[in-house]
């Protein structure tokens, strides 16, 4: 299992980096859309929606929204869509904190399932944020890659520190393996990544405090995205959202943190004037 996970990461990471740095913005958007829609399909399944027509309708509605945004609403509607994504994840953060110690029987409540279903539309702001970052300027691809790297570093730092030093559980009913120590390890890795990325982004050292704020907030929302998907899986009673990537589970397992982090990163970056 671990060998498959490592091999998948070794193969996929260079491909993702090459796509972000090498593809034009339109091509990157066209590539990202079906991947996010695949994650959406898995998300819908986790919410307990078994009727195939309903699942298809939600998927097609999201696909149509992305297409309409790209063809007719860009760039006018990009910012409102991204801000809507930030708002959604703030609400999701409240739900996750509120439910972190509830029994699974309570989490399976139909009303909660409906709320989780509403989150399926989180893929559109994430897609919009990725495309907006990438096409923002000549350095846009680097900013988009930086956003992805922050999420990856948060995940890696959290895993390494949590597996070695983790004792205090962060959200025991949602994700028993996540610890406070792993959370701080993820934050530390993201902050170190921000320091290393400073010259790549064309910034001088005077921008470092602002960049560290951006990295810390992005890392926090990356953890939230991961926790929220863990909540979905706990309610559904499964370990992985799918089996698309060997050793990594489904597509949603790979992009859950990105769904939360990308719109927050884009909005905060512009708000901070970076």
pLDDT band, very low/low/confident/very high, at 160 (cuts 50, 70, 90): confident
Mean pLDDT, all residues of the chain: 86
Which helix (DSSP H) or strand (DSSP E) does residue 58 occupy? helix 52-71
**Percent of the chain scoring above 90 in pLDDT:** 55
Domain hosting 99: range is 2-272
Write out pLDDT tens, residues 130-151: 999 999 989 999 999 999 999 9
pLDDT at position 203 over 90: yes
User: Strand, coil or helix: what is 169?
Assistant: strand
What confidence score (pLDDT) does residue 274 get?
92
What confidence score (pLDDT) does residue 240 get?
54
> What's the pTM value of the predicted model, to 2 decimals?
0.91
Ramachandran sector of residue 246 (left: φ over 0; alpha: ψ -120 to 50; beta: rest): beta
Higher pLDDT, 119 or 14: 14
Which residues contact residue 60 at a Cβ distance below 8 angstroms, ignoring those fewer than 6 apart?
A: none
Mean pLDDT of 17-36: 96
Look at the chain and report how many structural domains it folds into: 1
CA distance 237 to 86: 28
What confidence score (pLDDT) does residue 4 get?
47
């Amino acid at each position: 299992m671990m060998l498959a996970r490592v091999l998948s990461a070794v193969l996929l990471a260079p491909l993702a980096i090459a796509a972000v740095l090498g593809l034009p913005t339109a091509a990157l958007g066209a590539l990202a859309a079906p991947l996010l829609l695949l994650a959406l399909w898995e998300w819908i399944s986790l919410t307990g929606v078994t009727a195939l027509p309903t699942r298809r309708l939600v998927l097609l509605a999201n696909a149509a929204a992305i297409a309409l945004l790209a063809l007719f609403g860009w760039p006018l509607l990009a910012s409102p869509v991204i801000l809507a994504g930030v708002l959604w994840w703030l609400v999701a953060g409240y739900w996750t904190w509120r439910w972190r110690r509830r029994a699974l029987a309570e989490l399976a409540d139909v009303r909660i399932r409906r709320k989780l279903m509403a989150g399926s539309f989180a893929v559109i702001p994430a897609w919009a944020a990725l495309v907006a970052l990438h096409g923002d300027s000549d350095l846009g691809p680097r900013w988009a890659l930086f956003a992805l790297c922050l999420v990856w570093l948060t995940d890696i730092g959290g895993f390494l520190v949590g597996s070695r030093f983790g004792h205090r559980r962060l959200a025991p009913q949602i994700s028993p393996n996540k610890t406070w120590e792993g959370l701080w390890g993820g934050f530390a890795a993201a902050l170190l990544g921000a320091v290393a990325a400073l010259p790549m982004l064309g910034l001088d050292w005077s921008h470092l405090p602002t960049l560290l704020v951006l990295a810390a907030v992005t890392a926090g929302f990356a953890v939230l995205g991961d926790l929220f998907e863990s909540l979905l899986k706990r309610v559904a009673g499964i370990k992985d959202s799918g089996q698309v990537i060997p050793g990594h589970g489904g597509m949603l397992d790979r992009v859950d943190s990105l769904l939360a982090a990308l719109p927050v990163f884009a909005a905060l970056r512009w708000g901070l004037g970076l």
